[in-house]
Structure 1
Amino acid sequence: MTRLARLLSSLQQGLPASYCSGGVSEMIAKYKDLIVSLACRLMAPFVFLFGLYVTMFGHYGPGGGFQGGTIMASGVILMRLSLGRQATIKKFPLEFGPIVGAIGLLIYAGTGLVSLLAGGEYLDYAYLPIPSTSGTERQYLGILFVEVGVALGVFGVLLSIFDSLTKE
């Protein structure tokens, strides 16, 4: 019986698709095609780099922290799907997502808290106490801090969601 036939029969019986032979653990096993694995190994660093670019230059044009974090997470998910979980856990352990997400939240909240404690409103970048910078430069740096915080937060949350959905 093919995998599709098992899936259709389990759906007809009202069982979740994960009850089929294989289930979720087969989804994140190493992909057996050499060309796909090699292409994903070559593509993943560029996907991650593009996510960094979108994050860093999002305040100049389309993009920003959310989009950049999503693109970076998709690069790691691409590696997890093509190379298998065991091969990618060495570079990106399962605890990596929640830790990076928490760091992103701290950067975002910390930027707002510092400007609040410096006498401004929450996330009023003009009040950030950055020495030897003008008000405009502080605005750009404040936006960059927030974008990096959002990117790390989104990256961590998406990676955590993927890892929890594909848990063995």
Structure 2
Amino acid sequence: MRMDIVLRVLAKLLIPFALMFASYVQFHGDFGPGGGFQAGVIVAAAIIFYAVIYGLPSARKVVPDGLIEALIAIGVLIYAGVGVAGIVLGGNYLDYFVLDHNPVHGQHRGIFWVEVGVAITVAAVMLKIFYAFAARRRDAEEDDA
């Protein structure tokens, strides 16, 4: 794939639009279909597409393993932090209405941050799984050679 210029140009054109669509799905999830899970999968798919076209080592330079592992933890902490904030502010775990003086705004804020945590975690876990399987296949090909 390294020499196929058409695929490389298409990837450079499509990946930014995929990431922009992921942000639309993320931020529109409160008002229609979509949300954190779908946005996370779209982000991961864009990076996996990059890895397929440019190679796994290039993808690992753009999104290294350490960053992925940190993002997994950060996403879970954001999700859990919203729940703990509900407890600290006098509600139950993941009670969003206590996050603002206006319960409707509190619901919106809580859902928004939970969805952000889900998107980050899903994208990072999908990439971690892809990296693990892609590296395993690459190692097996090197052993056969």
Which residue of 1 is the match for residue 85 of structure 2? Answer: 114
Which residue of 2 is the match for residue 141 of structure 1? Answer: 109
Aligned with 1:100 (options 63, 71, 74): 71
Which residue of 2 is the match for residue 89 of structure 1? Answer: 60
* DSSP-derived class of the 1:95 partner: helix
TM-score by length of 1: 0.76
Gaps of 5+ in 1: 1-29
Q: Distance in 2 between matches of 1:110 and 1:102?
A: 12
Which residue of 1 is the match for residue 23 of structure 2? Answer: 52
Worse overlay, 94-103 or 54-63? 94-103
Q: Distance in 2 between matches of 1:94 and 1:158?
A: 12
Q: Distance in 1 between matches of 2:48 and 2:3?
A: 17
Gaps of 5+ in 2: 140-145
1:104-135, Cα deviation, whole Å (9 max, x unpaired): 1000000001101211111111112x5xx522
Q: Determine what percentage of the aligned residue pairs are the same residue.
A: 38
TM-score by length of 2: 0.88
Q: Which amino acid aligns with 2:107?
A: Q
Structure 1 runs (4+) deviating above 6 angstroms are none
Which residue of 2 is the match for residue 151 of structure 1? Answer: 119
**8 Å contact 2:56–2:134 — kept in the other structure?**
no
Shift of 1:38: 1.1
Which residue of 1 is the match for residue 129 of structure 2? Answer: 161
Which residue of 2 is the match for residue 25 of structure 1? Answer: none
Which residue of 2 is the match for residue 126 of structure 1? Answer: 97
How many pairs does the alignment contain?
136
| Bigger-Rg structure (1/2) | 1
Q: What's the C-alpha RMSD, in Å, of the aligned pairs?
A: 1.3
**8 Å contact 1:31–1:81 — kept in the other structure?**
no
Q: Distance in 1 between matches of 2:10 and 2:81?
A: 39
Shift of 1:99: 1.3
**8 Å contact 1:66–1:151 — kept in the other structure?**
yes
**8 Å contact 2:39–2:119 — kept in the other structure?**
yes
Q: Which structure dedicates a bigger proportion of its chain to helix?
A: 2
